[in-house]
Amino acid sequence: MRARDGWIAGASTADQLAVRRHNLAVVMDHLRLSGPMSRARIAAETGLNKATVSSLVAELGERGLVAEGETERGAVGRPGLVIELDTTVHVSLGAEISVDYLSVLAMNLRGDAVAERRIALDASRLSPEEILARLAELIRDVLGDLADGTTVVGLTVAIPGLVESVSGIVHAAPNLGWREVRVADLLHELLDDPGIAILLDNEANLAALAELDLRGTDAPDEFILLMGGVGIGGGLVTAGQLLRGACGFAGEVGHLQVTPSGETCRCGRRGCWETVIGLHALLALAAGADDVVRDPSVDLDERLGELRARAERGDRRTLDAIATITAALVSGAGTLLNIFNPRLLVLGGYFAVLSPWIEPGLREALHREVFAPKSGGCRIEFSGLGYSAAVRGGAVQAASAVFDNPSAFPLTPLVRTVQEVGPA
């Protein structure tokens, strides 16, 4: 009987620990989505009782995850100090390997960039090992920019291709020319085993995750993100979650075949959508081979800025190129809207840079491609994240280790406050 009583007591303790871990995550996630607020508001909005919230906040403070801020204004009853995510202790890292650039971002728990580096890159001239060595250097540069005492909670790398997150393997990245590259293992070696998790994900998935995070509680449950780059990435969100598919390979919309007798894609098939609306297709239409906008050694923002300037000046070749791309964009986007019926279509990458010239033609023609009336209720928006979307999404995903399980992070000897550590 004693043994049975002991087993019951052990199970009860385990259940209590699980409940507390869950409640810690609830408080962290609520602060992430809704912003700073008093303990009383946290209790009212999460359904937890006030005593429990006070205990949870105390523990989160001891783990360096939250801090006390100013007195809450406009509150009913006795005002309390607001609780906010601590921006001084933990950061997450996102990195992106693109055909045209490498990028690394360090982000605090509130979602602010605290360090960022990007370099132009011509991936076609380099091996996977050379590219990853340069990425490791960039990561070390960002780490060197962080304040003393900062703790890195994880790193997620965005890759344009078929990625297996669990194994850290890139199975196929046609625009990089990669097949079966063990990215996570190589980075662990190059970074001398940094003691953090290194994860991989598709760059469009991470860009969609960044859009979800940015929109917070206003994010629609159903939307599609199209990223315009050398490849065309698709991030699909349904029921508020990324749609990954059976093996995690969903969203490769750039390889929809739209012209069976068209150009050969880098994937080896003919007439893929990205061969007609990818960045290389746009630039080939808009400029000659020796034009600066087609020089991969020049930063992509500068090249797109020059293309935009030409459109603003009314350059006929540039405007005709954008119009041709827009027509092909409408055709493929209409197919996606017919299949998925999203609430929102978000366009990022170069689509957003050139939105003043893409948007009118897209809005005017898209409804003709969609069977449902009024484009199935879908609205169109252009991303404000630019080419930082995927790297930001990587940092968001890496930070999920904190928000999913705050109790995994060690206790610190002092409860930190905003006043003690200074401004973030």
Q: Which residues contact 342 (CB under 8 A, 6 or more apart)?
A: 220, 222, 223, 224, 237, 336, 376, 378
Q: Which residues contact 47 (CB under 8 A, 6 or more apart)?
A: none
Does residue 416 form part of some domain?
no
Q: Domain containing 38 — which CATH number? A: 1.10.10.10
Q: Domain check: are 120 and 201 in the same one? A: yes
CA pair distance 110, 199, nearest whole angstrom: 21
Does residue 26 form part of some domain?
yes
Q: Domain check: are 253 and 110 in the same one? A: no
CA pair distance 372, 297, nearest whole angstrom: 45
pLDDT tens, position by position, 188-245: 999 999 889 999 999 999 999 999 998 888 889 999 999 999 999 999 999 999 999 8
Residue 7 clears pLDDT 60, i.e. is over it: no
Q: Domain check: are 278 and 317 in the same one? A: yes
Q: Domain check: are 67 and 94 in the same one? A: no
Residue 420 binned pLDDT confidence (cut-offs 50, 70, 90): very low
Question: Percent of the chain having pLDDT more than 90?
Answer: 75
Q: Domain check: are 227 and 330 in the same one? A: yes
> Lowest mean pLDDT: which of 109-123, 166-180, 233-247, 399-413?
399-413
- φ, ψ of residue 105 to 5 degrees: the values are -135, 135
Q: Domain check: are 19 and 63 in the same one? A: yes
Residue 414 binned pLDDT confidence (cut-offs 50, 70, 90): very low
- The amino acid at residue 73 is R
Q: Domain check: are 158 and 19 in the same one? A: no
Does residue 65 form part of some domain?
yes
Q: Domain check: are 369 and 400 in the same one? A: no
Selection from 22, 112, 109 nearest residue 66 by Cα: 109
Q: Domain check: are 223 and 351 in the same one? A: yes
Q: Are 327 and 361 in contact (CB under 8 A)?
A: yes
Residue 10 clears pLDDT 70, i.e. is over it: no
Highest mean pLDDT among 11-25, 67-81, 155-169: 155-169
In which residue are the tokens 């055709």 written? 331
Domain boundary among 86, 121, 156: 86
CA pair distance 342, 46, nearest whole angstrom: 29
pLDDT at 1: 32
For the chain, the residue count is 424
pLDDT at 339: 95
Q: Domain containing 400 — which CATH number? A: 3.30.420.40
> Hey, what are 87's tokens?
């921006």
Does residue 61 form part of some domain?
yes
How many domains in the chain? 3
pLDDT at 102: 96
Helix (H, G, I), strand (E, B) or coil at 13: helix
Residue 418 clears pLDDT 80, i.e. is over it: no
Q: Domain check: are 252 and 348 in the same one? A: yes
Selection from 120, 30, 145 nearest residue 84 by Cα: 30
Does residue 420 form part of some domain?
no
Residue 410 clears pLDDT 90, i.e. is over it: no
Q: Domain check: are 135 and 256 in the same one? A: no
- φ, ψ of residue 247 to 5 degrees: the values are -115, 10
pLDDT at 328: 96
State which residues form the domain around 296.
Answer: 217-386
Q: Which residues contact 92 (CB under 8 A, 6 or more apart)?
A: 106, 107, 152, 153, 154, 155, 156, 395, 396, 398, 399, 401, 402
Does residue 414 form part of some domain?
no
* Mean pLDDT, range 323-336, rounded to an integer: 96
Domain boundary among 86, 110, 142: 86
pLDDT tens, position by position, 22-57: 999 999 999 998 899 999 999 999 999 999 999 999
Q: Domain check: are 155 and 294 in the same one? A: no
Residue 14 clears pLDDT 80, i.e. is over it: no
